[in-house]
């Protein structure tokens, strides 16, 4: 895959925390204008890869190219300009506990658009909340919300600036089916607009609904990455094992993947 068509590219990246090595010399290219899903067993470093790709964590060695430029090569203004066009939903929502729900969603808008009037900001905030299906909890603190609602607020915060790229770390965890459906519909719509989504999930139904590309990770290594139809046909026993284990873990939601696997058969 050439650089021009990659949204983010990790080159020979090594990352460890303290004495624990997460991955070594890992390379991965994430395509632009597509929805790439990272799957793998828990604790294999999916979230860390996502944060490294988004430039939130710097690896100990190797380089990370995002939007044709290394994160480290950008100065502060350039970084802010890129951040204005990206959104990130954290696994634990990571809402600012000392701000209300409204302030949480407002802050990216206020920061990137100081020229906006309060009315404009409120309009955009309410639109984002409506898109993700957030109920009226404007003046509550995040700690008063359920994890699912916190995820919605986090999602609204990520999309309020109308980003070009979304990084989603397990966005549907803790959501009921109705809200999950609404989020998936939003992601599909977002992708249809030609924007990029990089998504980490363990949920096969999410993968089946939105993935264009699929990357399978295990023990700090990318086993396979490519269009989902190609990946599900992989003969690599480790890939097959992970896909099967994912299927067994999520037996009740397996219909989509089964359908997908069936579709993949020649």
Partner 1 sequence: MSLTSGEEHPSVLARWGSAAFELTANLFYAFGFFWNVLLETFHFRSRSKVGTQVLVMQILFTGVNALFIITLIAVSLGTVIIFYGNQIPTAVSTNLVYTILITVITRELGPLLTAFIVMARSGVAIATELSSMVVTHEIEAYLAIGINPISYLVVPRFLGVTLSMIALNLYFNLSGLAASYLVAQFIHPIPASEYFSQLMAQLTPNAVSLSVVKSLIFGIVISLVSSLNGFRAQQSTTEIPVIVIRAVGQGFGLLIVVNILLTLAFAG
What residue ranges bind partner 1 (CB under 8 A)?
16-21, 51, 54-57, 76, 79-80, 82-84, 86-88, 90, 92, 94-98, 107-108, 110-112, 114, 157-158, 161, 167, 220
108/46 Cα distance (integer angstroms): 25
C-beta closer to partner 1: residue 35 or 95: 95
C-beta closer to partner 1: residue 158 or 242: 158
Residue 23 near residue 215, CB atoms below 8 Å:
no
Smallest separation, CB 82 to partner 1 (Å) = 8
What's the half-sphere exposure (Cβ side, CA atoms, 13 Å) at 37? 24
Smallest separation, CB 106 to partner 1 (Å) = 9
Smallest separation, CB 43 to partner 1 (Å) = 12
C-beta closer to partner 1: residue 160 or 223: 160
C-beta closer to partner 1: residue 114 or 237: 114
134/129 Cα distance (integer angstroms): 5
Smallest separation, CB 227 to partner 1 (Å) = 28
Smallest separation, CB 70 to partner 1 (Å) = 16
Reduced to 3 states (helix: H, G, I; strand: E, B; else coil), residue 94 is coil
C-beta closer to partner 1: residue 114 or 266: 114
Reduced to 3 states (helix: H, G, I; strand: E, B; else coil), residue 254 is helix
C-beta closer to partner 1: residue 153 or 208: 153
The percent of the chain in helix, strand and coil, each rounded to the nearest 5, is 45, 25, 30
Judged on CB neighbours under 10 Å (0-12, 13-18, 19+), 146 is exposed
C-beta closer to partner 1: residue 10 or 232: 10
Name 89's Cβ contacts closer than 8 Å, sequence gap at least 6. Answer: 151, 154, 155, 158, 166, 167, 168, 169, 171
Name 133's Cβ contacts closer than 8 Å, sequence gap at least 6. Answer: 152, 178, 179, 182, 183
Smallest separation, CB 80 to partner 1 (Å) = 4
Smallest separation, CB 236 to partner 1 (Å) = 22
């Amino acid at each position: 895959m050439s650089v021009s068509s990659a949204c983010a590219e990790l080159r020979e990246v090594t990352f460890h925390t303290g004495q624990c090595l997460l991955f070594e010399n890992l390379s991965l290219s994430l395509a632009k204008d597509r929805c790439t899903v990272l799957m793998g067993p828990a604790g294999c470093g999916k979230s860390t890869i996502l944060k490294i790709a988004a430039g939130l964590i710097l690896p100990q060695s190797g380089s990370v190219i995002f939007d044709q430029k290394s994160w480290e090569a950008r100065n502060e203004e350039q970084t802010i300009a890129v951040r204005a066009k990206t959104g990130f939903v954290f696994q634990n929502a990571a809402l600012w506990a000392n701000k209300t729900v409204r302030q949480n969603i407002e802050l990216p808008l206020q920061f990137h658009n100081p020229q906006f009037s309060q009315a404009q900001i409120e309009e955009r905030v309410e639109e984002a909340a409506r898109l993700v299906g957030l109920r009226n909890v404007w003046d509550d603190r995040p700690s008063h919300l359920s994890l699912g609602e916190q995820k919605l607020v986090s999602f609204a915060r990520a999309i309020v600036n109308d980003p070009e790229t979304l990084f989603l770390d397990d966005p549907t965890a803790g959501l009921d089916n109705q809200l999950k459906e609404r989020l998936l519909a939003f992601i599909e719509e977002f992708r249809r607009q030609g924007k990029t989504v990089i998504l980490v999930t363990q949920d096969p139904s999410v993968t089946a609904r939105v993935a264009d590309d699929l990357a399978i990770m295990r023990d700090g290594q990318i086993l396979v990455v490519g269009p989902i139809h190609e990946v599900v046909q992989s003969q690599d026993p480790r890939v097959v094992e992970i896909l099967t284990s994912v299927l067994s873990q999520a037996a009740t939601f397996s219909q989509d993947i089964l359908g997908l696997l069936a579709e993949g058969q020649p």
